[in-house]
Structure 1
Amino acid sequence: MIKKLTIFYFIILGMLTAQDYLWPTEAGNLLSSNFGEFRDTHFHMGVDIKTNEVTGYPVVAIDDGYLSRMVTNFNGYGKALYITTKTGHIAVYAHLEKLSPRFESVLRINQQSRESYFVYQRFTEFEFPVTRGEIIGYTGNSGSSSGPHLHFEIRNLEDEPLNPLLHGLDLPDHLSPVFKKIAFLPRSTSTKINASPLPQVFDAYRDRDGTYHLPDTLHISGPFSIATLLYDIREGVGNKYQIKSLTLKIDDQIKYKAQYNHITYPETGFVNTTYDHYLSRLNEGRFHELFQYSTDPTLNIENSSDNGLISLHPGYNNLQCIAEDHAGNISIINGIIFNHPVSSISLELVDSNENETTFIMTPNSGNFPFTEIIPHTFSPFGSIEEKLVPTIQIREGKKVTFTLPTKSLQGRSLQVFGMNRLGAYSESTHWSPKSVLANIFNVTANLDILDIHQGLYLQVTLSQPIDGNVQMMLEHETFLESVELNQIQPQVYITDMFHPSDLVLVKQVKVVLRDNENSSLQQSIKFSWTPEIAIPGETATVLSQDKSCSMRVLSSSLYDTTAIWIEKVDQSVPVQSGTQLSNVYQLQPYTLALKDTVQIGIKYNDEFVFDKYMGIYAFDQDEQEWNYLSSQNHPRRRIITAAIDYFDAVTIIQDNDPPYIVSSFPAEGGYYHYQDVEVLRVKVDDDLSGIKSSEEAINLEVDGSKVYPEYQPLEQEISYRLTTPFLPGQHSLSVSVKDRVGHVAQKKILFRVN
């Protein structure tokens, strides 16, 4: 609890007299988050106002109106008030510590009558009027709050959140948004971005006048879309904020526009369609996706008739992205894209001595001779190492002779691109010295299936470069299909993009390594892969190869048709607490955004049929920990089931230990003055499944009488504010908590008050 002089609040109000509404708290006007920011499963629907990392600042009615709703919960907004204003808005104050005395008494009456901490009570305009500036509560940290702050919203009368910084609240801001990166994403089987079939991400560069640029002219052929990593900033704080609007233009024509003015609650679950889920899952950051799939739901933030799919006219095209913040500050990123078919090239070793190695590069197609050679070396393990600069480069017609230092090539493989005077790239070609090339029978191969923006790629990675070629065949249920591979690195080969429907009834992938000198010598490597094709509006089930893990896609799970499969994980992060009772299974495709949950099931051995406290856990890549999923055990079938909203790695774990009481106030055996005991607090913890955040799992008794405490799930703290002080003498505090698999911890705490 903190106390501030009233004069401080009036200073803040004086700063805001030009606004329609009062600022909702005297804690200050610094924000930690603003409207429309991306969260894992939703948009942020208001602004978070900093409270200097403490609780207890007064919050006030922003205008005349009435208390229309009062809510208390362990999760979500915790303790919250809803004020309907005379201007026809609803102001929401969330994560409060306590309410004003008259509202706190109303809350207590409701909790007692319901015999529950949980309250959801609506009021008419005649019951609890409020006046502009009236203190209605105090800032806190209740509910699913990661630290003390005030979450504040403005909604219309349909309960739809509006951007508070555009509807009555405003703050001075003179800093423009910041562009960090821009991604170019293939949208067809023929698309190449700087000669690559895969997404390409580039840094944004800022010049002296504040305009951002791409690092160079890009060469793109085929349809594509754009995503960008950017954020807004404000004076005096280091936080990163959502922008107000983002516009994409190609040759001055708007291709896509997003505006964060108004988001409805039915829309918030579709947040994963507005940022690039593929890049996010690869830990590249949450890029604003300036593209809308035909199967995506239309959201209020999307404000253009075009869906962001870009098909360029031949030659040079101008790209421009414009970001604007709530104060009207603008940042622009400009770029030039050259549209031209990609040429292939061949590379021939001409001569090599201890100092220099000479090659001839010849274009196999294309009308424009190459003017620049771009060589990179790769280590024997396949990682890119160094960009080389040719010491000599001679062009004869369309052929280019160039020389590289021999020392730089020792024990290394070479990748070469050509570039013509217009900025067009060739496909890459590769060369390795004999000392690096491996016999086809001495290498291993890995198969990766990449799900990228509703397309699938099959990628083969060899343990070493080979003196041979690589072929691929797909074994369908009734026929064998030969698939063309593109070599994109000395040891990496990839297919063109598949649509999921192209992979119906695939049973196996065969990779053939064929010797260059003797084509009859070959090594065949087989990979079992049996994807199921799942279609929106229909159900589909897929099993792991060992039949012990199943995944059922429901009719509501998907945005679009996709291939689904399950991989058994051979090496995984070990379980630190509890006992692992099954293999680890990776649900695929890992990078796919889900519209709704999918159902999973994992079998366990007969020996565990009478065991308790088992559940399915999913691995969180960001936190590097196993998280419990709400699970159901079916002993007759020896299977545990759960729902999951990400394609994560999953396994069965048995939680062996109950939760525990960490500390309490008052403490066991403590002796206190009655005025010092206003709020009872109990800290609890659990090492694996976590404390169950429900009233059924959390019980508190004071001197033998049941009370209705608050629980903060992130702090894992139970608290109860006394309505009357303790009388002198001995008192007791009895606490009981349950974890998410059913373990119970209990403790009775005795203390004295004078």
Structure 2
Amino acid sequence: MKHFYISSLFALITLTSLHGQDYLWPVDLPRRISSNFGETRPRRFHAGLDIQTKGVNGIELKAIATGYIWRVRVSSSGYGRALYLKLDDGNIALYAHLDRFSPILENLISLEQERLNSFSIDKYFAPGNFVVQKGDLLGFSGESGGAFGPHLHFELRDESNRPLNPLTNGFSLEDGRLPVPEAISITPLNKDAVINGSPLPQIFPLQRIKTREYAFMDTIHVFGEVGLGISVVDHMSWMNNKFNIYGAVLSVDDNEQYRVEFERFAYDQSKLIELERDYSLQRLNDGEFHRLFADDNSHGLAFISKQSNGKLALSPGYHRVSIKLYDALKNLVNIKGVIYQAPPISIAVSEIERAKTSVKFRIEPKGIPFPITHFTCYSFKSKGFPEEAIKATETSRDGNGMIVTLPLEDIDNKVLQFIGINNQGAVSSPFHTSINLAPADYMTVDLDLTVRHLEESVVIQVEVESYLDKIPELTLRNSHFLDLTDLQQVSPTAFITRPLSLEEFGGTTEIVVSFHGSPVRESWFPIRSELSDNNKQTAAVSPRGSCSIQASPTTFYNPTVYWVEDINSPVPVEGGTFLTKAYQLQPFDRPLQDSANVAIILPNYIRDFSKSGIFYYNKNYGWTYLPSRFDERKWMYFTSLKSLEAITVIQDTIQPLIEHIFPGNGGSYSFEDVQEIQASIRDELAGIEGDEAISITLDDKKLLFEYHPIKKEVTFRLKTPLESGDHNLVITAEDQVGNTSSEEIRFNIR
């Protein structure tokens, strides 16, 4: 195993920087950035720096070195106005979101737009056409395209057009602040893995020991193959924005296991961010974590060292863990901890004596004979809400177990959760009991079912509304029956199965939850799961068959069981009407390698399906349109998507809103007053796809306008003053389901 010391690590960073040119900072302002290289963006890495321009447009942009303008691209989306500068050293500098180019280039682009009769252009230049010297004016900063405010998006690419980290390739910033690690995650990587008594991924906080040193809060007990992750933020001396780190190194017992450095990558690797970051934890709202392990799919990512693996299949016993985190300016912190590899353990807890003010319990190990030497106890309300940790007033040894005395006032009418720790450091699964608290009636308690897809297995969880002292049993019905009688109570109101292999869960048509007693209660949950196949196309349908998802051999990165759930109470839609039920595509926290195709059948009674399509629910923007196709013969809508979401068919009959038009209707202006034509165009549900869905004419002549998709504004800059007299302006917009609006403006130039 290749082993790096931190001194050589920093030498590597320094050497990389020295090989870069002494580039000029592209704006004549203090060196301030709001985003750096490798940050998270939807399904991609941020490929450069977002350089601050004091919150305004129009800052001069300078050539960072001698070279020539290689490419100019103009669009209403993405990078907006972008300029590519090929440098004499072979690298490429990209300037994006410009407000305008230099005057000579602006005139040339305008002529090209008129020649093509299109606002959007993509033009390349030969080496001798536009030679520039270091410091020459290239254009002016702006917020064109998909920019969320004025700034310069700047990229540095190598001769193969691969993005480089500018901060280690010719640029530098003043920064003395250290990365701040927040938590570690541990993920089970095989069916037998257990972490502190649980088969589910776990998150552990960290404690700061010294300025540059952090530590695990306690020894972590694992069994089977696991992978670590780290949640970390980096700030800079002059700003509290959350920046990406430059690198991370995981070592176990002084042997390097995994190394990631955000130095360069290829654009076709962008989607692998959903493997380098922990996609599941992010989708579950548990935070952003860098995974410190790789699989066959992420191994090709240029950021990850070729020698890296990071999957920890440790030998029995204690292992020293070190995680080094550093930014591009050599600020480094180190995290240390201990992982104990041993089989999982469980405990039994029994009440042995009750006094007026206290209750005495015996805690003893089950199976493995190592004595229990420590314990923790937490109190919960009957609905499962945690309250506090309970401190014992007295403890003593009792063979391989413990006798503990707890104050009655702290535990009366509460559910108690006990966790035992043996003399080797192994942590037990939890044990639950109650004091003077009647459990819920298993015949009437509300219950629900959730399915959690792990790396190589599936766990089913039964959730009840109040504490139960009766353990449910599950039966999976498919081509055969699989009885699951060993559910683990993980909280007062939740029970989980053992991890099931994908083959065990794939093909399931129904899950039956049973409580055995007198009488017996059974609850049925229909599900039609399907196991993906790397050699052929497969499909899963909703319980009643109205929604389907189709997976090709490359839809998922790894073998995955997938299914479709009915949503009984979807988030309401504003300005539209549901034409079908809503469905949740599962597992929603599993990343997709390629698109999944979905279809929804319209109910037979729906005859008017005009202005409708498939929408998915976005937690930030609400119901969001997906480009859809309707097959009238099959009476169903089709679409594809790159993540598993909640979907439905919505009818949207509201027209786009065109307002804030300048010049205004009936207005009279001097020619100096009208330098631009502007309008706001909004459509709150289906939305405007882009400038192709908008038309603007002035005196019957088509205008090559700019559309800003974030601001929802259109702008046309007049190249020559308008002639005196009456003018007629017509703006038309169409949303993505076919609703149209048009405004006609008549104004006069004096």
* TM over 0.5, shorter chain: yes
Instruction: Specify which of 414, 417, 431 is matched with residue 415 of structure 1.
Output: 417
- Separation (CA, whole Å) in 2 of partners of 1:269 and 1:294: 15
The 5 Å alignment of 1:541-560 reads: 541-560=539-558
After TM superposition, the score normalised by the length of structure 1 is 0.94
- Whether the 8 Å contact between 1:191 and 1:224 is mirrored in structure 2 is yes
Q: Bigger shift: 459-468 or 51-60?
A: 459-468
The residue aligned with 1:196 is 198
Change (3 A) 1:483 1:27: farther
Residues 329-338 or 71-80, more deviating: 329-338
SS of residue in 2 equivalent to 1:185: strand
Task: Give the corresponding residue for 2:270.
Answer: 268
Question: Equivalents in 1 of 2:615, 2:388: separation in Å?
Answer: 42
Deviation at 1:479, TM superposition (A): 4.0
Deviation track 1:319-375 (CA, whole Å, cap 9, x = no partner) reads: 111111111111111112222323221111112244211111111233432222211
- C-alpha contact 2:527 2:564 (8 A) present in aligned 1: no
Question: Which has the larger displacement, 247-256 or 421-430?
Answer: 421-430
1:684 is paired with a residue whose SS is strand
Matched, 1:49 2:44: no
Determine the structure 1 residue equivalent to 2:332.
Answer: 330
Asked if the contact 1:452/1:591 (under 8 Å) is kept, the reply is no
Q: Bigger CA drift: 346-355 or 736-745? A: 346-355
Deviates more, 1:238-247 or 1:466-475: 466-475
The C-alpha deviation readout for 1:124-170, integer Å capped at 9, x for no partner, is 00111112111111111111111111111111222111111122222
RMSD: 1.9
1:647 aligns with 2:644: yes
Correspondence for 2:376 among 371, 374, 377: 374
Give yes or no for contact 2:433–2:469 (8 Å, CA) kept in 1: no
Alignment equivalent of 1:30, drawn from 12, 17, 32 = 32
- C-alpha contact (below 8 Å) 2:412/2:436 kept by paired residues: no
Structure 1 residues 201-350: aligned runs within 5 Å: 201-296=203-298, 298-350=300-352
590 and 726 in structure 1: CA distance in 2 versus 1, 3 angstrom threshold: same
Match status 1:524 vs 2:522 = yes
Q: Kindly, what percent of the aligned residue pairs are identical?
A: 32
Deviation at 1:633, TM superposition (A): 1.6
- Residue 162 of structure 1 corresponds to 164
2:484 and 2:497 in contact (8 A); partners too: no
Distance 1:466 1:606 in 2: 44
CA distance in 1, matches of 2:217, 2:670: 68
Deviation at 1:173, TM superposition (A): 1.6
Deviation at 1:171, TM superposition (A): 1.5
Partner of 2:471: helix, strand, or coil? strand
Residue in structure 1 matched with residue 631 of structure 2 by the alignment: 634
- Asked if the contact 1:345–1:362 (Cα under 8 Å) also holds between the matched residues in 2, the reply is yes
Work out whether residues 535 and 558 of structure 1, in 8 Å CA contact, stay in contact via their aligned partners in 2: no
SS at structure 2 position matched to 1:643: strand
Counterpart residue number, 1:10 = none
- Secondary structure at the residue paired with 1:636? coil
1:651 partner amino acid: T
Structure 2 counterpart of 1:5: none
CA contact (8 A) 2:363 2:372 kept: no
Counterpart of 2:600 in structure 1: which amino acid? I
CA distance in 2, matches of 1:354, 1:190: 45
With over 3 angstroms needed to count, the CA separation of the structure-2 counterparts of 1:313 and 1:173, relative to structure 1, is: same
Partner of 2:13: none
Q: Is the 8 A contact 1:296 1:559 kept in 2?
A: no
457-466 vs 238-247, which deviates more?
A: 457-466
- SS at 1:108 equivalent: helix
Quote the offset at 1:511 in angstroms.
2.1
SS of structure 2 residue aligned to 1:506: coil
Q: Could you tell me how far 1:559 is from its partner in structure 2? A: 0.2
Match for residue 459 of structure 1? 461
- Structure 2 Cα separation of the partners of residues 26 and 731 of structure 1: 42
1:489 Cα shift?
A: 1.9
Gapped regions of structure 1 (runs ≥ 5) = 1-15
Query: Aligned partners of 2:687, 2:396: CA distance in 1, in Å?
Result: 68
Query: Which of 473-482 and 574-583 deviates more?
Result: 473-482
C-alpha deviation, 1:385, in angstroms: 2.0
Q: Is the 8 A contact 2:251 2:323 kept in 1?
A: yes
| Greater alpha carbon shift after TM alignment, 476-485 vs 556-565 | 476-485
Checking the alignment, whether the CA contact within 8 Å between 2:324 and 2:335 is kept in structure 1 is yes
**1:692 offset after TM fit, Å?**
1.9
The separation in 1 between residues aligned to 2:212 and 2:299, in whole angstroms, is 35
2:487 equivalent to 1:485 = yes
From 735, 738, 747, give the equivalent of 2:743.
747
Gaps of 5+ in 2: 1-17
1:685 corresponding residue in structure 2: 682
Q: Are the aligned partners of 1:536 and 1:559 in contact in 2 as well (CA < 8 Å)?
A: no
Local SS of the residue matching 1:415: strand
Contact 2:475/2:481 (8 A) holds in 1? no
Work out whether 1:656 is the aligned partner of 2:653.
yes
* Selected match of 2:403 from 390, 394, 401: 401
Q: Which residue of 1 aligns with 2:597?
A: 599
Paired amino acid for 1:25: V
Structure 1 position 567 matched with structure 2 position 565: yes
Question: Which amino acid in the other structure matches residue 215 of structure 2?
Answer: H
Residues 269, 301 of structure 2: 8 Å contact kept: yes
Deviations 1:1-42 (A, max 9, x none): xxxxxxxxxxxxxxx9x9611111224421111111111211
| CA positional deviation for 1:442 | 2.9
State the distance in 2 between where 1:371 and 1:529 align. Answer: 44
- CA distance in 1 between counterparts of 2:470 and 2:106 reads 78
Could you tell me how far apart the structure 1 residues matched to 2:21 and 2:71 are? Answer: 25
CA deviations over 1:695-744 (Å, ceiling 9, x no partner): 2x111122331121111111111111111122333333321111111111
> Matched residues in 2 for 1:185 and 1:508: separation?
28
1:722 equivalent in alignment to 2:722: no
Residue pair 2:472, 2:485 contacting (<8 A) in 1 also: no
| C-alpha displacement of 1:422 | 4.1
Moved more, 146-155 or 629-638: 629-638
Question: Deviation of residue 536 (structure 1)?
Answer: 3.2
Letter of the 1:325 counterpart:
D
> C-alpha displacement at 1:464, in angstroms?
3.1
Output the CA distance in 2 between the equivalents of 1:624 and 1:88.
Answer: 42
The secondary structure found in structure 2 opposite 1:233 is strand
**Deviations 1:456-496, CA, capped at 9 Å, x for gaps:** 10111233333433222222213444453222223322122
Amino acid at match of 1:361: I
Q: Partners of 2:63 and 2:298 in 1: how far apart?
A: 39
Equivalent residue, structure 2, for 1:4: none
Are 1:674 and 2:677 matched, yes or no?
no
CA–CA distance in structure 2, aligned partners of residues 362 and 207 of structure 1: 34
Residue of structure 1 in register with 2:6 after alignment: none
Check if 1:535 corresponds to 2:537: no
Distance (Å, rounded) in 2 between the aligned partners of 1:207 and 1:670: 69
**Post-superposition CA distance 1:200-230 (Å, at most 9, x none):** 1122222332312222222222221111111
Aligned to 1:118: 120
Aligned to 2:5: none
Partner SS for 1:269: helix
Given residue 725 of structure 2, which amino acid in structure 1 is its aligned partner?
A: G
Cα deviation, residue 669, structure 1: 3.0
Instruction: Describe the SS at the equivalent of 1:667.
Output: coil
Distance 2:484 2:345 in 1: 23
Equivalent residue for 2:443? 441
After superposition, the Cα gap between the structure-2 partners of 1:111 and 1:167, relative to the gap in structure 1 and judged at 3 Å, is same
What code does the residue aligned with 2:184 have?
A: I
The structural deviation recorded for 1:607 is 4.0
Contact 1:163 1:260 (8 Å CA) reproduced: yes
Q: How far off its partner does 1:750 sit? A: 2.5
Take 2:386 and 2:622, find their aligned partners in 1: how far apart are those partners? Answer: 31
Q: Residue 14 of structure 2 corresponds to which residue in structure 1? A: none
